[in-house]
Each structure stands twice: as C-alpha cells, then as structure tokens.
Amino acid sequence: MTAFAGMPAKKATQHSSGTLYMHQQNILFDLDGTLTDPRLGITRSIQYALAKLGIDEPDLARLEHFIGPPLLQAFMQFYSFDEAKAWDAVNFYRERFRVTGLYENLVFEGVPELLEALNGQGRTLYIATSKPWEFAREIARHFAFDHHFKVIYGSELDGTRTNKVELIRHLLDEEGLDPAHTLMIGDRKHDLIGARSNGLQAVAVGYGFGSREELMAEEPAFHFATVADLHQAFSKA
C-alpha cells in the first residue's frame, strides 16, 4: 500500500502486524480514469462538438481536462459558454460519442484481474460515474467487465445526478448500503469529495487524470500509483 507522505489513513483497519488495509464489503468504482482510459473517445468527441460550434481545437491533449467532471459544467467553465450553449455542446458531443467514442476506450492493464480478485473475496462491486448510465453500461458490456458489478450507476441524460455527491447518495439509498462498510475509488477530486460528503472512505488512484496536487488537496485515506498497487492492497485484506 502506498499512502501520501504524512497523510493519515483514516477509517482504516489494522492487522496485528500494523499493516493498514481496506476492509469494506462494498466497493464503488469510478469509470473514466479508474477502470478505463477513455482519452481518445472523449477528446475526439469534445473536438467534434467544438467544431460544430465553430471552435477549432487541433490538439487533443488540450481537451483532456474534460475527462472526469460533468460535461455541462466543464463546457461552461473551460469555454465560458452559457447554459444553453453548453447543452448544445453536450448534445453535439453525444452525437459522436454514442456511435463511435464509446468504443475508443481501453481497459487499464490489471483491472480485469483486480475485479476478479475482489469478486473472489466476496466483495460487492458497483460503478458510480458521472457519465450517463446508458453509456457506462454499454462500455462495461462491450469491454466485458459488466459481470463483475452488481449495478452500474450513472447520471441521466438530462443532467440529473452528474454531481458525484448526489450520485453516491442515490446509490447508497437505492442499495441500502452502510457508508462505514463502503469504499469509493476514483482518479479525480469529484470522486473523493463525493465519498467524503457521504461518509465513505475515499481512495485516490494516480494512474488516471487527476494530478497529485488535485488528489492530495482532498486528503484521501489512501493513494495508489498503479493498478498493481491497488490490487496488492486488497490482497492484504
């Protein structure tokens, strides 16, 4: 297990050896940047939406900050769109994403083995993503990891529950989960804020799209630089 230097591991359980580990029965995973690398599909679809609105952005790397936060708010923040224009951008984005961008995606190396191991430990797994649930479920189906999860939760197409605080609260209520026995794993501050606001232990992963500075600012209980590190920590449980 790798924790941030000087950061307390809150709500963790200890073996007699003193090793901290994650004991929770219920594990919530973010999707983009945590289970999969959606870089190409998202940035190309953002590029397409901007072009529809007369904005040329040839450098896809400049669009990676769209990965993680709710799209409507991201268009408003990064391009100063009003809400109506931001919705136009979201709808143009979906034109391409639902047909092509969904599949321009890669499952991170080691994720299938991690999910298999957690299932083998008897854990109950969920996805909690700001992405619309119909897109998230199609991604999980297409890349053949949907069977590891009890339910895949996401937002509605009208923007309902794009906020991670609301989404996680909805999931907990729908599933009747005790926050003390539930863990949230994600790569952006939105995941960590959503977890903390709902009384869950938050785990940050460093292989996604959130910077170290962004993640450290939210004081997660654990940080793992790689999928392998995350898998190893669960193996110690």
Is 5 within the bounds of a domain? no
97 in any annotated domain: yes
Q: How many CA atoms lie within 13 A of 174 on its CB side?
A: 13
- Please report which confidence band the pLDDT of residue 68 belongs to, taking 50, 70 and 90 as the band edges: confident
From 30, 37, 187, 191, active-site residue: 30
CA distance 183 to 195: 8
Identify whether the C-beta of residue 187 lies closer than 8 Å to the C-beta of residue 207. Answer: yes
CB 36 within 8 A of CB 108: yes
- At 96-141, the pLDDT tens digits run 999 999 999 999 999 999 999 999 999 999 999 999 999 999 999 9
CATH number at residue 141: 3.40.50.1000
Q: Is the pLDDT of residue 4 over 90?
A: no
Residues 4 and 34: their CA atoms lie apart, in Å, by 18
Report yes or no on 124 lying in a domain: yes
Tokens of 118: 């957690």
Residue 6 in domain: no
- Mean pLDDT to the nearest integer, 42-71: 96
User: How many structural domains are present in the chain?
Assistant: 2
DSSP assignments along the chain, one per residue: ----TT---TT-EE-TT--EE---SEEEE-SBTTTEE-HHHHHHHHHHHHHHTT-----GGGGGGGSSS-HHHHHHHHH---HHHHHHHHHHHHHHHTTTGGGS-EEPTTHHHHHHHHHHTT-EEEEEEEEEHHHHHHHHHHTT-GGG-SEEEEE-TTSTT-SHHHHHHHHHHHHT--GGGEEEEESSHHHHHHHHHTT-EEEEETTSSS-HHHHHHT--SEEESSHHHHHHHHHT-
For the question of residue 30 being annotated catalytic, the response is: yes
State residue 237's pLDDT score.
Answer: 60
Given 83, 103, 123, the domain boundary residue is 103
119 and 223 share a domain?
A: yes
113 & 95 share domain: no
pLDDT digits (tens, 9 = 90+) for 207-229: 999 999 999 999 999 999 999 99
Same domain, 191 and 223: yes
Same domain, 44 and 31: no
Is there a contact between 120 and 148 (Cβ–Cβ < 8 Å)?
no
Residue 56 in tokens: 């040329």
In this prediction the pTM is 0.90
Residue 86 in any domain: the answer is yes
Span 132-187, pLDDT tens digits: 999 999 999 999 999 999 999 999 999 999 999 999 999 999 999 999 999 999 99
Are residues 121 and 217 both part of a single domain? yes
Residue 46 within any structural domain of the chain? yes
Residue 91 is part of a domain; what is its CATH number?
Answer: 1.10.150.240
Query: How many angstroms separate the CA atoms of 217 and 231, rounded?
Result: 24
Domain range for 83: 39-103
Tell me the Ramachandran region of residue 173: left when phi exceeds 0, alpha when psi lies from -120 to 50, beta otherwise. alpha
